[in-house]
């Protein structure tokens, strides 16, 4: 039982050494990618804020000028056209036309806001995990586990169980390689301890920056009635629908005012999802950046120390 524990500790100890050159490369690449994304997001958010300066009052006046319902007719033959996702289709002459501008924009912005929200939730989960008190305690525990559990276990274990399979593999490697392996593992042990100290501090200080992820309520459900703009007949439609087809004359009535409002709503939802994403990604970026720069600093420091010792020996 104890022999297994020793072997497990030794594997962890060696892994810390093995992964030492990989970690700065991986964390550096991830950090770089995320900070580029944050930069792009910052630009988008600033552009959104400038656009959103339009007052609610001006928006209300503009909205009032739009017709509630507008019949959609074919540009070529004047017949009633059907509204499709990316075009209007005339069933009489087969001509395809451009859908109303607000319609295309509202659909696009809605999809964009949903995509941003999904991404924000994903990043928020990671940021929440990293800044959770449980994570902080784990980091603190690991700081002490390194010198108080892992290191003694490896040292004591190698004396008590000198004939463990890993020790035999060590002996087979030859003295030079075994020494190098042990040296890198010892370096890894020191590096991880320092990294955990930094991460524990970061976890505590970044908790307050965790953003609130917005919840988008679905469009109001229910049915509404109005009169068809082409024939005057009664049309009934879903409260969230962008257009309604008249059952009497088959003309599609486009809900111009509603769609404009939906377009602006989607724009605002996209902006709030974007800023939540930004806040969460910023926390992850700080973790990655700290991890990377601490590793980099320790690597440079140990190289300088080695050079210094080598020079001192020469002189
Ligand atoms: Zn037509
Ligand atoms: Zn009609």
DSSP secondary structure string for all residues of 232-261:
--EEEEETT-SEEE-TTT--EEE-HHHHHH
Distance in angstroms (rounded) separating the CA atoms of residues 125 and 115: 16
Backbone angles phi, psi at 97, to 5 degrees: -125, 175
Distance between Cα 98 and ligand 1 center (Å): 13
Specify the residue for token string 């008590």: 160
Q: Residue 52 — very low, low, confident or very high, per pLDDT cuts 50/70/90?
A: low
Of 94-103, 107-116, 155-164, 196-205, minimum mean pLDDT range: 155-164
Q: What spacing in Å lies between the alpha carbon of 251 and ligand 1's midpoint? A: 12
Residue 73 CA to ligand 1 centre (angstroms): 8
pTM above 0.85, yes or no: no
Among the listed ranges 19-28, 61-70, 135-144, 210-219, which one has the minimum average pLDDT value?
Answer: 210-219
Residue 204 CA to residue 133 CA, distance in Å, equals 7
Instruction: Say if residues 259 and 103 touch (Cβ distance below 8 Å).
Output: yes
Predicted confidence at residue 275, as pLDDT, reads 92
Residue ranges per domain, the chain? 2-217+226-314
Report the range out of 78-82, 169-173, 232-236 with the highest average pLDDT.
232-236
CA 233 to ligand 2 centroid distance, Å: 5
Instruction: Residue 19: count other Cβ atoms within 10 Å of its Cβ.
Output: 14
Pairing mode, strands 243-245 and 252-254: antiparallel
Sheet containing 96-97, strands listed edge to edge, beginning at the edge strand earlier in sequence: 82-83, 88-89, 96-97
Ligand 1 centroid – CA 104 distance (Å): 20
pLDDT tops 80 at residue 298: yes
User: Which has more pLDDT, 189 or 285?
Assistant: 285
Q: Quick one: which ligand is closest to 249's CA?
A: 2
Residues with CB under 5 A from ligand 2 (ion): 228, 230-231, 233, 246, 248-249, 251
Which ligand lies nearest to the CA atom of residue 245 in the structure? 2
C-alpha of residue 95 to centroid of ligand 1, in Å = 5
Q: Supply the angle between the helices 133-145 and 101-131 in degrees, to the nearest 10.
A: 40
Q: How far apart are the CA of 36 and the centre of ligand 2, in A?
A: 53
Provide mean pLDDT across the span 70-89. 88
Q: What local confidence, expressed as pLDDT, does residue 220 receive? A: 66
What's the CA-to-centroid distance between 96 and ligand 2, angstroms?
Answer: 21
* Arithmetic mean of pLDDT, 33-37: 94
226-265 pLDDT, tens digit per residue, is 999 999 999 999 988 999 999 999 899 999 999 999 999 9
Token pair in block for residue 279: 């806040």
pLDDT of residue 54: 67
């Amino acid at each position: 039982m104890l022999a297994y524990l020793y072997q497990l500790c030794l594997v962890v100890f060696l892994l810390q050494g093995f992964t030492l050159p990989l970690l700065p490369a991986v964390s550096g690449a991830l950090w770089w990618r995320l900070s580029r994304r944050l930069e792009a997001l910052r630009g988008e958010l600033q552009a959104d804020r400038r656009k959103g300066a339009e007052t609610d009052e001006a928006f209300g006046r503009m909205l009032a000028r739009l017709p509630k319902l507008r019949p959609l007719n074919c540009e070529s033959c004047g017949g009633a056209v059907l509204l499709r996702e990316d075009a209007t289709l005339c069933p009489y002459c087969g001509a395809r036309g451009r859908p109303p501008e607000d319609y295309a924009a509202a659909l696009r912005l809605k999809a964009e806001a949903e995509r941003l929200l999904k991404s924000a939730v994903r990043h928020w989960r990671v940021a929440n995990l990293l800044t959770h008190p449980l994570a902080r305690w784990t980091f603190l525990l690991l700081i002490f586990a390194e010198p108080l559990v892992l290191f003694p276990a490896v040292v004591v274990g190698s004396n008590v169980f000198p004939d463990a399979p890993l020790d035999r593999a060590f002996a087979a490697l030859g003295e030079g390689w075994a020494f190098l392996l042990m040296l890198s593992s010892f370096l890894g042990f020191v590096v991880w301890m320092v990294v955990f100290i930094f991460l524990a501090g970061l976890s505590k200080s970044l908790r307050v920056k965790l953003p609130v992820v917005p919840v988008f309520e679905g469009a109001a459900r229910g049915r509404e009635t109005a009169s068809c703009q082409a024939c005057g007949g009664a049309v009934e439609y879903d409260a969230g629908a962008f257009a309604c087809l008249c059952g009497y004359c088959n003309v599609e009535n486009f809900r111009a005012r509603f769609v404009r409002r939906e377009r602006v709503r989607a724009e605002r939802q996209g902006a709030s999802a974007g800023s939540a994403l930004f806040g969460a990604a910023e926390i992850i970026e700080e973790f990655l950046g700290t991890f990377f720069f601490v590793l980099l600093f320790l690597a440079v420091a140990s190289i300088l120390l080695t050079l210094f010792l080598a020079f001192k020996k020469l002189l």
